[in-house]
Chain A
Amino acid sequence: MISLRGVSLLYPNGVRALDHVSLEIGKGEFVFLVGHSGTGKSSLLRLLYREALPSSGDITVDGIRVNRLPSRRVPALRRHLGVVFQDFKLLADKTVWENVAFAMQVTGAPTKDILRQVPRALDLVGLSHRSRMYPDELSGGEQQRTAIARALVNNPKILLCDEPTGNLDPANTTEIVDLLLRINLKGTTVVVATHNQAVVDRMRRRVVRLENGKVVTDKERGYYYLGLGQGQVLSG
């Protein structure tokens, strides 16, 4: 579903954010991307939704050669992907319903599809009862669920999340992670970049660790730190 082969990313300012990264993510997988701040997690995700182009290497997403994709075809790629961020990126002057519908409206979806899909997405994230509210009337968790509903409303096969729980308290974090898991169980490939050790260690999913732009470990049923669970880490 997602494949990176020898991918390097050199920003114009000379920072090498990714250094010969190779990674295969299969259909329906749930993958955590972990690593210290500035090791290239966000950069890797940005390459997948073609917000950045690699300096070298090949990237394939859902059969699309992303690094060879002409700009005019980028919208088509993005309609196959859902992307979620730490800061939700909701529009304050639109209701929950309108925020979710927005993703379909601006891609020219027919009204009858919108009327069918939006309630379905809101139902999936458990926000049907909040559909007429505005973002600032919602809790952080509800705002992130709105953002997830928007990311899913076009039925993407892949959901990319960059620190989805970064702004949330533990209770809301658990809620969002459970939601991501449910989405994954329905067959969507989910990639989550996170700093949240508790979440990673509780979930026991595939964990890919980056250090200085390189993949250093890649473990099925992994922990946040090299093969060690929470509490097993020695201080320092």
Chain B
Amino acid sequence: MDWGRVKFFLGEVARSFTRNTLMQITAIGTVAMTLMLLGAFLYVRTTLADLGNGMLAQIEISAYLEPNVTPHQINALRAAFKVDPRISSAEFVPKSEGLKELRARMRGIIDTSLLTENPLPDKFRIRVRAPQLVPAVAKDVARLSGIQRVLYGQQVVTRLLQLGEVLRRVGMALIALFLVVAGIIISNTTRLAVYARRREIGIMHLVGATNAYIRMPFIVEGLVVGILGAVAAIVLLVAAHAMFWPRILEALPFVRFNTAVVDVPSLILQLFLVGAIIGSAAAWVAVGRYLQT
């Protein structure tokens, strides 16, 4: 390892970096804002997705059987549910059992002793592996022979799924917008840095430095801006989390958020990665444009 070379290179980067401090701070700030938004979005999305999944996981499909269904048909249905990979469990609930459940649920609300005749059909209680699968599975089950009617919380499921999708899209659009803004600001910073160093760049060209060598310090600069932006974003996010999260929980006591589902180290790593990529890529593009000889 030629330390003299490393030292010279880092010296050049530092020299260029400190030449336009104000612009660099602006760029770092923009990256930090963008990454904070991204970090908060990912955190909240993971938590909400878990919450939604929790609610959806409780949703079951009730597949009511025709009154004259034969035991043979019931067995056939049971076998069909077993081989469907989307279905995690399918439990047969005979009408007597269903009545008992109904009585339990209605106790105190109506006088269940009035139910002298059992009005309920036999049913299968089906659970699926992922909430998104509920509508499709319900539709397929309804087509099987021996099934009269299929019920599930249609509206709840579709609404929750739709809401999640809308939130996801809005968040992504916002983040994309911010990433573009951060990229433009870093590109501009790089352009200024290139302009400030045009004499040096001219001499470098003259004495036979390669384009790759000339570009390198600017890209490293962009990388540093991205990484410093990520550091700032993480620090601010941690502080904001410590300050506001308890209050949010307090304000919404009936919602059981489970933040343990957020993989914090991997979230931090993601923010670093995004910062590094946006910083170096924007610098790369800018320097490529302004170093054409």
Q: Residues of A at under 8 Å CB distance from B?
A: 49, 71-72, 74-79, 83, 89, 91, 93, 102-103, 105-108, 110-111, 114-115, 150, 154
Contact = CB atoms under 8 A, between A and B. Distances in A.
B207 A103 contact: yes
B203 A154 contact: no
Interface residues of B, number: 21
Contact of B2 (A83, A91, A102, A111): A111
A79 B200 contact: no
Contact of A108 (B3, B5, B15, B293): B5
Contact of B293 (A71, A76, A102, A111): A71
B5 A91 contact: no
B261 interface: no
A126 B114 CA distance: 118
Given A106-B213, A111-B2, A111-B5, A79 B293 contact: no
A157 to B, nearest CB: 14
A150 B293 CA distance: 22
Contacts of B211: 72, 75
Interface of B: 2-5, 8, 15, 199-200, 202-211, 213-214, 293
Tell me whether chain A's interface is mostly helix, strand or loop, or mixed.
helix
A149 to B, nearest CB: 12
A74 to B, nearest CB: 8
Given A49-B206, A78-B207, A106-B209, 6 more contacts: A79-B208, A83-B206, A103-B203, A105-B5, A107-B209, A110-B2
A154 B209 CA distance: 12
Contacts of A102: 203, 207
B208 A114 contact: no
Contacts of B200: 91
9 contacts: A78-B205, A89-B202, A93-B15, A102-B207, A103-B208, A106-B204, A106-B207, A106-B213, A110-B2
